[in-house]
A = this chain, B = another copy of it.
């Protein structure tokens, strides 16, 4: 397809597509004439991923380029690509104390989940668990089980949408789109459910 069709089908303007081509976020099309290139489904998929990273997750170009590099590198496994994308779009970062990290490791182990100790997720979770512990909340499955079960039930549905044989940029797009959007959905629905439960218990 021509660049105008690519623009129409992707919803990305021609100047923006040209900008992505210059930045290397999009591979060049096949030259058909001296001034015209042909684009295909791979370009369309790639543009969808760029848009998810930019519009939904709100990432700057440099972070988008990092995810693109992971998509294109054969040295990066699908598991690691999903992890890189998830960490980029969820913005988890920073450090935690040794105590926080230990709390996170022990809690994740008690849940029977598999999360790499060196993942930024563990540091971020460690900071939060330390704050909860400081407020007197026991960091155990007995105390925090309802939140873990709820989190696991949606995560299982979300990850089930990804398969090992889909194109890597499509897999990354599911994470880039789903992590922020369905995270926000879960958070908003929790507030609505709190209101609904309050009304059921305390309403006239």
- A residues contacting B by CB (< 8 A) are 77-79, 82-83, 86, 90, 92, 108, 113-116, 119, 121-122, 124-125, 128, 131-132, 135, 144, 146-159, 162, 164, 177, 179, 181-204
Contact = CB atoms under 8 A, between A and B. Distances in A.
Contacts of A185: 128, 132, 144, 147
What is the total number of copies of this protein in its complex?
2
A121 B185 CA distance: 12
Contacts of A116: 195, 199
28 contacts: A77-B202, A79-B199, A79-B202, A83-B195, A86-B194, A86-B195, A90-B191, A92-B188, A92-B191, A108-B196, A114-B195, A115-B192, A115-B196, A116-B195, A124-B188, A125-B188, A125-B189, A125-B192, A128-B185, A146-B157, A148-B193, A151-B190, A152-B193, A155-B193, A155-B194, A159-B194, A159-B198, A179-B194
